[in-house]
Structure 1
Amino acid sequence: MNQTFENDERIDDLIVDYLSHQCTVGDERELQAWLALSEGNRRYFIEIQDIWNSSGIDDKSFFNKDAAYRRFKERIVWAQRAEKRQNYHHISILLRVAVAVLVFVTGSLSYYAINSYLIQHNTKQYAIYVPYGAKTRVVLPDHSVVWLNAGSTLQYGQNFGQKSRQVALVGEGYFEIAHNPAMPFTVKANEASIRDLGTKFDVKAYPEDSHLSVTLLRGSIQLTTIYHPEHPLLLKPNELAVIDKRNKGIEIKRVDASEAAAWTEGKIVFDEEYFGQIIRRLERDYNVVIDIRDPQLYHLRFYGDFSQAQSIQEILNVMTANKEFHYTMAQNHITIYQ
């Protein structure tokens, strides 16, 4: 291959081999030489790495290169289509997944050198955005696992895990935190801050919602709000903290905390929830717009246990069985009325 590296297919093959840990020493040197040629090459590598990470190819116990490559190519096509629809200049704007996620699978000095080099030249903040109708699972550099629900964003700095572990969440995230007593993990979520050492918890902090909630499944966490920063709260397993943004109050409830994480398993569970809250959730999960014509319907409460494998029509048909409301649907727009 000549030094101008004009064969784009060859470069893509090198990057895929590198990301799948199947590069030879010669291939790694070739890739490093290509990265050293220009900032544009390094940006392209980061974009492809973003796509690779967001494809969910993280099973290190068994790796099928052909299957992974197919998924990788499919994600590139998806990203390019989305890029064209939104008129964005970079795929990475749509799929900004941290380069640092790959540090935990480093297998060679040359791999670590490339990764460190890219971190130094990348932006200071990484952001992972999940659009409506989707969910994703992210493994952070400290081995903590985060599930992000539809319409959510997770941000963290390039030095995450070196001196501190802090992330910012908008939307909903389920966290399984790697234990590290010397370096607590902190989630900043609009009106609240959650600090823990190693545990499992769910945070729901959508800006448009009137309440912010934190549910603890295991371990212990310290919850601090901007309304009462001098009075942090300690949550115990199976406790739910609900922060009312309007009156700045906090309510602690005993709950079955496993229901808070049910969405990570593709379940949709309503436990005496107001119809207005359910509607916002269905909009995010199914990427639809729901218009409620009669305001009094917002105050209805429902119980329900559904699967996301079900269509939104199936869910609404069950909910309308008692005739408390009716609905019409045209493409992705749903109108609900009495």
Structure 2
Amino acid sequence: MERKTHTLLEKFVRNSITSQEGKELKNSVAKMSNEELARALSDVWENYDTLVTVPDDVGHFMKKLSPTPYSRRPRFLYTFLKIAAAIVIPILLGTQIYFYYSNEKLNSLLNSQLMVQVESGDKTELTLPDGTKVYLNATTSLSYPSDFGLKNRNIYLSGEAYLVVSKDVKKPFYVHTENVNIEVLGTTFNICAYPEQEHVETMLIEGSVKLTTTGNRAHAVVMKPHEKVVYSKLNDSLYISPTSGEFETAWMRGELVFRSTCFSDIMKKLEKRYGMKIEILENKYNLDLFTGSFKEDNIYDVLKILQMHYDFTFKAKDDKIVIKSE
């Protein structure tokens, strides 16, 4: 029975199952326990490189995703569907992994999504099934389908990421954000696309990418290495300029770099970087722009340095920092 179900699952994943075999598989899966199904899927997908493994062994699952100690609190959400009553199994092992089962058709397995969420104050790194390296900045989320690499390569991003994309001319790599889409064949680039910010910035280090906006008036540009494209959400327009990439990738080196930045935007960046809520009681300094860089591990050390430029006091109160202008 188990061997027969295993064979049918292999055929299903490879899209070679017949209609009659599909019915047999549906009936077999309906009789399996959640543990049996997870074990069967793990056995099948372990030998299927383009799919994300869903084992009952958490350690193996984490190894497959390849997150590194670069992050302290990344959170992974994996969704896959089973013909059975809906259950939720939380597993805690430094990283939270949630397996969701719901009463849907078995082929919904391949339409499921894996999501990585990085909290404020953290960064993380992972390797996609095609070998692409992705580095995620704080308060960033990334998702991709469980059949990533089988027919195409699509990821969905909100926040900031640095990507080293594995080359595959037959399967272009697409990064989808709320305002711009990027088509890649094999390259290295940085994209900053936080929903709350007025601009989306893309910087190409090597290779070639095609950037297309998603607004009513679609703009498209093919970027060259060491070019930076800034999309203005307010004006629905693109701006292209040369860059060395040092400023845009400072977060990868653990640096905070500001160029003619207003006080409130500095505080927002500090919130993301250090995972601390900052409340400004009075802001008298927004017209006073700041240029400088920091590599301090402690937010209080940064604030003390900023006090040399701005006249303010600060104190920790109820899990947040309160800033008061003098």
Bigger helix fraction: 1
- Superposition deviation, residue 255 in structure 1: 2.4
The structure 1 residue matched to 2:143, chosen from 146, 150, 155, is 155
Task: Give the counterpart letter for 2:210 in structure 1.
Answer: Q
- Superposition deviation, residue 228 in structure 1: 5.6
Separation in 2, partners of 1:298, 1:267: 22
Deviations 1:204-244 (CA, angstroms, capped at 9, x unpaired): 11112222211112222111111265430122222222222
1:90 and 2:101 equivalent?
no
Deviations 1:238-288 (CA, angstroms, capped at 9, x unpaired): 222222222323222322213212212222222333333322221112111
Give the alignment's TM-score, normalised by structure 2: 0.68
- Superposition deviation, residue 90 in structure 1: 1.4
Deviations 1:59-116 (CA, angstroms, capped at 9, x unpaired): xxxxxxxxxxxxxxx99xx99xxxxxxxx95137963599xxxxxxxxxxxxxxxxxx
Give the alignment's TM-score, normalised by structure 1: 0.66
1:38 and 2:36 equivalent?
yes
1:71-220 equivalences under 5 Å are 90-91=90-91, 95-96=96-97, 124-220=112-208
Separation in 2, partners of 1:298, 1:199: 38
Separation in 1, partners of 2:68, 2:120: 21
Farther off after superposition, 291-300 or 191-200: 291-300
Separation in 2, partners of 1:46, 1:169: 28
Alignment length, in residue pairs? 259
Task: Give the counterpart letter for 2:170 in structure 1.
Answer: A
SS state at 1:156 partner: strand
Compared CA separation, residues 174 and 300, structure 1 to 2 (3 A): farther
Separation in 1, partners of 2:314, 2:38: 51
The percentage of aligned residue pairs carrying the same residue is 28
Partner of 1:227: 215
Task: Give the counterpart letter for 1:218 in structure 2.
Answer: E
SS state at 1:233 partner: strand
Compared CA separation, residues 96 and 154, structure 1 to 2 (3 A): farther
Separation in 1, partners of 2:239, 2:283: 26
Task: Give the counterpart letter for 1:185 in structure 2.
Answer: F
The structure 1 residue matched to 2:309, chosen from 322, 328, 334, is 322
Separation in 2, partners of 1:127, 1:147: 14
Farther off after superposition, 266-275 or 164-173: 266-275
Unaligned runs of 5+ in 1: 1-34, 59-73, 80-87, 99-118
Bigger strand fraction: 2
Separation in 1, partners of 2:308, 2:97: 42
SS state at 2:248 partner: helix
Compared CA separation, residues 278 and 239, structure 1 to 2 (3 A): farther
Unaligned runs of 5+ in 2: 1-32, 43-53, 77-87, 100-106
Task: Give the counterpart letter for 1:321 in structure 2.
Answer: M
Task: Give the counterpart letter for 1:95 in structure 2.
Answer: Q
Aligned-residue CA RMSD (Å): 3.5
SS state at 1:303 partner: strand
Separation in 1, partners of 2:192, 2:114: 20
